Each structure stands twice: as C-alpha cells, then as structure tokens.
Chain A
Amino acid sequence: MSEEPILSVKGISKSFGGLKALMDVSFDVQRGEVFGIIGPNGSGKTTIINCITGFISTLAGQVYFKGKEITGWKPHKIADAGIARTFQIMRPYYSLPAYKNLIIPLWSPRARKTGGWRGGGKHGDRDTVAVDILEEIGFERDSRVPYKLSSTLPTGYQKRLELARCMALRPEIIFCDEVFSGLSMSEIAGMLPLIEKMRDEGITLIMVEHRLRELFRVATRVMALNFGEKITEGEPSFVIEDKRVREAYLGTEEV
C-alpha cells in the first residue's frame, strides 16, 4: 500500500520490573481500517494501548500518528491530536447522569476546535449535543436512560457510554479495549452495527478483543500477540489458521 499509514508503531518495548510486557512490537494501521489485536491473557494487549495513548511510558520504540512522532507525549495531548480510547474497566463519572458524562469531552479543547458533534455548532448547547451523541450510540432519546446516574446503568449502556465519550471528541482513531467483554450475545449483536457505523464514518478502529468470533466479523486485519511478542498479522481468516496462534490459545500438542 502506497498510502501513508495513519498510525505507525515501530519497535515498541516495555517492561514492568523484570517482566517483559512488550518486546519490539511493530505494526501499521491504515486509515479506515478495523484493526484487531488478539492474544491470550497477559500477552500485552492492554499494555500496548496504554503505551500508544501515553498512559504509560515506553522503554524503546516510536509511535507515529499521520507521520508525526507522538512518542512520549502526555495522554491529554495525544487525545487532543485525535486518538481516543476506552477503558477495559469501565470508568464513567459515577456521580453524574449519563448525558452529563459527555459534557467533559465536549468541553475539551479538541471538541471545541472541531465544533463538537456534527451540526452542534461551536457554541451549541452542550447538553443537547450530548443527548444527540448518546442517541447516535444507542441510548433511547425519549426514555429516562440518558438522564439516569451513570453508576446505575447496566453494563451494556456503560460500554456504550465509553464509546460515546470517545465519539464526542470526534477522533480519527479509537482504541477499543475489550468493548465486547462482559456483554450478553444480544448486547454484542447491538454493538456490532455501531462499530460498523463508526467505521463507515471514517474512524479508524483498533480493537483489543477476547471475543474472537465477534471481532472477526468486523475486523479487516488482525495482529496476534503472545507473551509481549508479535506472532503474526494479516486477514482474520489467515491469522486464525496460523499454528502459533492456535498454540498460544490452546497450548502445544506435545505432552
């Protein structure tokens, strides 16, 4: 591909004490892709998100966003540049109603620069824009749900709220840290069209996931990690056939 990748990760390494969490991981993501990162527990999936979004420091390696190096930037600067993320452990603002949760990203410098949500002008009423975004993400507008305290929402809505928080920034890349985990089959079925819609809007999605079947329905390319090392990368159908990936998940055949 001749096009410049929107995100380029070159040789990232990270260790916690003696534990090598990431070893020389490199990958490129093109604009508009749904890029999956898979791997067994403890393989460094969440660590790689934390490294790229600046929440933890890296030992070595560089991250380029649209050709510009962002290694070592502060998390809020990276978010301001257009890389949003969700958290694996949901972190809504517990003391606020759901729609008020979105006031915070909508207040951020980036949202003010980009003019909030489509249509919602620069000085548009943030409450209205917030409810618009929530509706977009699957909160029933005329029900009580958007106005409920976020701590009282069911898991499915809390996950959606995490995505809504990202969407309010109008990001170019969203890192989704296990958005499907802890959801029932029907809730996941509701989330998938949402992911597709975000992709169709031109947002590049990078999804860390345990639920492989659901991930492979939306992902264009997948990278597999094991013990902090990249095993393979490619189309979902190619990755799932890879012997090393199977071994990582199921163990080797020798006894």
Chain B
Amino acid sequence: MEQMRKERIDRGLKVRTEGLYAISSYREILYLMGPRLLLIVGVLALPFIFELAPYWKRVINIMFVYALLALSFDFLANYVGLVCLGGAFLTGVGGYFSAIYNVYLSFPTYLAIPCATITGAAFCTLCLIPCLPLRGVYFAIVTLMYPLLFTRIIEALDILGGTNGITGVDGFANQYVEHYIIILVVIGFLFAMRRFVNQDIGLVLRGVKDNDQSVRASGIDVTRMKILAVFVASLIGCFGGAYMAHLYMWAGISLFALDFSIIPIASVVIGGGGTLVGALIGSFILVPLSEILRAFGTFRIVIYCIILTGFIVFKSEGLMIFMQRKYHQFERWVKV
C-alpha cells in the first residue's frame, strides 16, 4: 500500500519571515484584509442581527466582556508567560471602583469607567507585585486567591454595601450605546494588543516568557517588564468589570464570581492560544453555547465539559491556529 503524506506549502504572498508580505495586487490586499474586515464588520453588525431577539442582545454584551477577559488572559499567558487565573479579580476590582466613583463620588458614567479602568488596573498591579519577582506557579495561585479574599473581606466587614452590593449605579443612555461601547473597545484593544506584542517592547515581553534569565543578562529588569505586562492586562480586565457594573447598574460580590476566571481560559483553549483573535472567537462560541445549554439545567455543565474535552483532545491547537493554517497554506497529498 502506498503511503501518503500531507504536504503544506506557504502561499507565495508570504516571504522569508512572519509578518512580512509582498503585496502586488488588489487581490492580494483583499486576501490580507479580508479576514480582518470580516471580523470588524461582523462584530459591528451583531446588535442589528439580533434586533429581534432582545434576550440575546444582553448576551452579546456579556460575550464581549468575556472576550476582553480572554484577550487579557491570552496576552499574559502566551506572550509574557504569566498564567492568570484571576479574571474575576480584574472584573471585581474594575466594577467596584467604577461603582464607587459613580455612586459615592458622583462621577458621570463616562468618566467613572475610564477612571476605574486605570486606577483599578493600578490597584490590581499593586496587589500582584509581591509575586512578580518569583518564577513558577505562585502568580497563578495568588491571582486565583484574590477574588475569594476580596469577597470575604466585603462580606465580613460589611463595607461597600456588603452582600447587597453597591446599588444605584448609573446605566447607559440606551441599548445601542451599551453595545457599541463594548464592541468598539474590544476591537480597539484587540488591534492595539496585536500591535503591541509585535513592537520591540512586545518582543522583550515574549523574551521574558521564553527565557527570563537571558533577558536579565541583557540588562533588562524582568520584574519591571512583568509589572508593565500585568498593568496592561489589568487595564483590559478592569474595563470589562467597570462596564458590567454600569450595565447591571449594580456592583456586587458576584463580580468576583469564578466564571470570570474560568470561561476566558476555556475560550483561549478553544480559540487558540497566542493568536489574540482566537480569544475573541472562543468566547463568541462558548458564551452563547452556555446560554443555549441553560435549557438543560444543571446537566449543561456535563455537555459543556464534553465539548471542552473534545476540543482539547481533537483540536488542541485551537480553532484560530487551524483556520490560519488552512488560509495561509496550500495542502496536498503526496507520496512518501
């Protein structure tokens, strides 16, 4: 029997190295721009597509919040080598900060969110600094622990509204503002992060992931680079939290819920780690899926797990990497 092997050839457009293309015609420009435009237009059109299903329009907002968290996880895990299990920490801090600014200090909504994003990120970074000089699993453990810690502090001391949370947070003007704020921010962060990781400073962060000793030997303070990376990732996550506080017009301890830590990680697994877009795609699949599965009651966790396991076993590289390969390379069967 003849043995066959799949041969993969890069399309001619791609030259020598990653990220460098030789463009010579409109068709080739379209080839490169196509997927990006499809994503942007598709995402912008989502609220109109679901015009007739008001329930699903709420899901869209949450889906994008999860996309932000997944983006933040993907950046930290695959570009800096820090595994952050604390998406909930970021949303919680962002949400509470925004609620405090809005309710206690009566900032308007559109000022409270940016302020909460920046100060929340600074707060998260400060909390995480002690474990940044260490290598190994400490960062993951500490990030997992913080949401639990803050939940208990708020419960026990009955501060910031205690178990009732902070009520009376201002909402958004109308539905379309709700949608487009988060959609535009997600697109903005996505393309900004893609650019950031390919800048020289982004390469230094990737160097920290590959081999921090070598970065140290190059005269760069690794801890400072990690602090910077955690701050950037916290910005993304805290925005998600601040947005949610205003979306629900309430900030409570459910902002520290474990879901915000776990679903983003699963999204990155499904979407493909290290692609950044994959994080978005993953959450676009997982969040609606878990909504659909609500009909099955508690049984939905089982179905959810089966799908996740299936992905890990059969397509562990993730959807995005798979699709990129199909798009950028010819495949054909050749004799061995």
Contacts and interface: CB of A to CB of B under 8 A. Distances in A.
B16 interface: yes
A109 B213 contact: no
A74 B17 CA distance: 35
Interface stretch (B26-34, B50-58, B217-225): B217-225
A164 B215 CA distance: 14
Given A107-B203, A144-B16, A147-B17, A165 B218 contact: yes
Contacts of B211: 91-94
Residue of A75, A84, A94, A165 with highest tally of chain B CB at under 10 A: A75
B329 interface: no
B291 interface: no
Contacts of B207: 93, 96, 101, 104
Contact of A104 (B17, B18, B218, B221): B218
Interface in A97-121: 97, 100-101, 103-111
A53 interface: yes
A96 B218 CA distance: 16
B219 A165 contact: no
B246 interface: no
A87 B200 contact: no
Q: How many A residues touch the partner, as a band? A: 35 or more
Contact of A103 (B18, B200, B214, B219): B200
Interface in B220-263: 220-222
A24 interface: no
A79 B203 contact: no
A96 B216 contact: no
Nearest to A54: B216
Contacts of B214: 87, 91-93, 104, 165
Contacts of A100: 203
B210 interface: yes
B179 to A, nearest CB: 36
Contacts of A111: 219
B217 A96 contact: no
A97 B18 contact: yes
A77 B214 CA distance: 13
Contacts of B206: 93, 95-96
Contacts of A109: 219-220
B204 interface: yes
B201 interface: yes
A121 B218 CA distance: 19
A118 B218 CA distance: 18
Contact of A74 (B16, B209, B213, B221): B221
B226 to A, nearest CB: 13
Nearest to B218: A105
B210 A93 contact: yes
Contacts of A165: 214, 217-218
B217 A87 contact: yes
Contacts of A97: 17-18
B213 A87 contact: yes
Interface in B1-46: 16-18
A113 B201 CA distance: 16
Interface string A207-230: 000000000000000000000000
Nearest to B20: A147
A185 to B, nearest CB: 28
Q: Name which of A74, A85, A91, A104 has the most chain B CB atoms within 10 A of its CB.
A: A104
A203 B293 CA distance: 67
A55 interface: yes
Given A107-B203, A147-B17, A85 B217 contact: yes
Interface of A: 53, 55, 74-77, 79-80, 84-85, 87, 91-97, 100-101, 103-111, 126, 144, 147, 165, 168-169
